[in-house]
Amino acid sequence: MKKILFTLIVPFYSGFVFPQWFWQNPLPQGNVLNSVKFINASTGWAVGEAGTILKTTDSGENWQIQSRPTINDLHSVDFINDFMGWAVGDSGIIVKTSDGGLNWISQLSGITSDLLFSVDFINQKTGWAVGFYGTILKTNDGGTNWIIQSNNNDYWLTSVHFVNQVTGWAAGLSERIIKTTDGGMNWISQLGDSGWGASDFYSIYFVDQNTGWAVGDGGKIVMTTNGGFNWTNQTSGIGSVLHSVHFVDQNIGWIVGEPNTILRTTNKGIDWVRQFYSTDIYLQSVYSINSDTSMAVGRNGLIIKTTDGGVNWISKSNGTSISLFSVYFTDQNTGWVTCYDGNVLKTTNGGMDWDKLTTGTNNWLTSVYFVNSNTGWAAGWNGTIIKTKDGGENWISQSSGTGFDLWSIHFINPDTGWAVGEQIVLKTTNGGRNWINQAVVSNTRFTSVYFANQSDGWIVGLFNTILKTTDGGENWISQSLQTFDIDLSSVFFIDQYTGWIVGIDYSSWSGIILKTTNEGVSWVSKPSGAPNYLFSVFFTSQSIGWIVGGFGTILNTVDGGENWTTQSSGTNNGLNCVRFIDQNTGWVVGWLGTILKTTNGGITFVEEEEINEMPTDFTLSQNYPNPFNPSTKIQYSLPQSSNVIIKIYDILGNEIETLIKEEQPAGTYEVTWNAANLPSGIYFYHIKTGYFIETKKMILLK
| pLDDT value at 587 more than 90 | yes
Which residues make Cβ contacts (< 8 Å) with residue 302, sequence separation at least 6? 33, 279, 281, 283, 296, 315, 317, 321
- Clarify whether residues 294 and 342 are in a common domain: no
- Clarify whether residues 467 and 559 are in a common domain: yes
Which residues make Cβ contacts (< 8 Å) with residue 482, sequence separation at least 6? none
Q: How confident is the model at residue 109 (pLDDT cuts 50, 70, 90)?
A: confident
Q: For residue 611, what pLDDT is reported?
A: 36
Beta bridge partners of residue 622, listed in sequence order: none
Question: Could you tell me if residue 5 is inside a domain?
Answer: no
- Clarify whether residues 36 and 174 are in a common domain: yes
CA 581-582-588 angle, 5° bins: 55
**Average pLDDT for residues 48-69, to the nearest whole number?**
91
Distance in angstroms (rounded) separating the CA atoms of residues 188 and 185: 10
- Number of other CB atoms surrounding residue 441 within 10 Å: 6
**Average pLDDT for residues 524-543, to the nearest whole number?**
92
Q: For residue 443, what pLDDT is reported?
A: 80
Closest CA to 502 of 573, 566, 577, 558: 577
| pLDDT value at 7 more than 60 | no
Q: How confident is the model at residue 350 (pLDDT cuts 50, 70, 90)?
A: very high
- Clarify whether residues 372 and 518 are in a common domain: yes
- Clarify whether residues 303 and 331 are in a common domain: no
- Clarify whether residues 97 and 234 are in a common domain: yes
CATH code where residue 560 lies: 2.130.10.10
Question: Could you tell me if residue 394 is inside a domain?
Answer: yes
Closest CA to 134 of 70, 60, 189: 189
Q: For residue 276, what pLDDT is reported?
A: 76
Q: Please give the model's pTM, rounded to 2 decimal places.
A: 0.84
Asked if 304 and 281 touch (Cβ cutoff 8 Å), the reply is no
User: Which of 90-94, 286-290, 359-363 is the least confident region?
Assistant: 286-290
User: Which of 74-83, 250-259, 485-494, 553-562 is the least confident region?
Assistant: 250-259
What does the pLDDT look like over 213-231, one tens digit per residue? Answer: 999 999 999 999 999 999 9
Question: Could you tell me if residue 1 is inside a domain?
Answer: no
**Average pLDDT for residues 317-322, to the nearest whole number?**
90
Beta bridge partners of residue 589, listed in sequence order: 577, 595
Which residues make Cβ contacts (< 8 Å) with residue 54, sequence separation at least 6? 28, 29, 33, 45, 46, 47, 63, 64, 65, 66, 303
What whole-number percentage of the chain has pLDDT above 90? Answer: 67
Last-in-domain residue among 273, 296, 315: 315
The pair phi, psi for residue 92, each rounded to 5°, is 70, 20
Last-in-domain residue among 598, 630, 651: 598
- Clarify whether residues 113 and 211 are in a common domain: yes
How many domains is the chain built from? Answer: 3
Q: Is the peptide bond before 11 cis (omega within 30 degrees of 0)?
A: no
Question: Could you tell me if residue 52 is inside a domain?
Answer: yes
Q: For residue 292, what pLDDT is reported?
A: 52
What whole-number percentage of the chain has pLDDT above 70? Answer: 92
**Average pLDDT for residues 574-592, to the nearest whole number?**
96
Domain of 469 in residue numbering reads as 324-598
- Clarify whether residues 216 and 77 are in a common domain: yes
| pLDDT value at 17 more than 70 | no
User: Which of 117-126, 152-161, 259-268, 318-327 is the least confident region?
Assistant: 152-161
- Kindly tell me the burial class for residue 258, based on how many C-beta atoms sit within 10 Å of its own C-beta (0-12, 13-18, 19 or more): middle
- Clarify whether residues 355 and 291 are in a common domain: no
What does the pLDDT look like over 412-463, one tens digit per residue? Answer: 999 999 999 999 999 999 999 999 999 777 788 999 999 999 999 999 999 9
Last-in-domain residue among 268, 298, 315: 315
Q: For residue 284, what pLDDT is reported?
A: 65
CA 62-66-69 angle, 5° bins: 155
Spell out a b/e string for 650-688, using b for 16 or more CB atoms within 10 Å of the CB, else e. eeeeeebbebbbbbbbbbbbebebebeebeeeebebbbb
The mean pLDDT of the chain is 89
- Clarify whether residues 533 and 673 are in a common domain: no
Question: Could you tell me if residue 260 is inside a domain?
Answer: yes
Question: Could you tell me if residue 119 is inside a domain?
Answer: yes
**Average pLDDT for residues 345-353, to the nearest whole number?**
95
Distance in angstroms (rounded) separating the CA atoms of residues 306 and 8: 38
What phi-psi label fits residue 508: left (phi over 0), alpha (psi between -120 and 50 degrees) or beta? alpha
Q: For residue 613, what pLDDT is reported?
A: 56
CATH code where residue 690 lies: 2.60.40.1930
What does the pLDDT look like over 135-185, one tens digit per residue? Answer: 999 999 999 999 999 866 667 899 999 999 999 999 998 889 999 999 999
Question: Could you tell me if residue 9 is inside a domain?
Answer: no
- Clarify whether residues 629 and 489 are in a common domain: no
The pair phi, psi for residue 514, each rounded to 5°, is -115, 140
What's the helix, strand, coil split of the chain in %, to 5? 5, 50, 50
**Average pLDDT for residues 194-203, to the nearest whole number?**
71
Closest CA to 2 of 672, 540, 492, 485: 672
| pLDDT value at 405 more than 50 | yes
Distance in angstroms (rounded) separating the CA atoms of residues 43 and 54: 11
- Number of other CB atoms surrounding residue 531 within 10 Å: 14
What does the pLDDT look like over 629-685, one tens digit per residue? Answer: 888 999 999 888 788 999 999 888 888 999 988 878 888 888 889 888 899 888 999
Question: Could you tell me if residue 563 is inside a domain?
Answer: yes
- Clarify whether residues 310 and 329 are in a common domain: no
**Average pLDDT for residues 111-135, to the nearest whole number?**
92
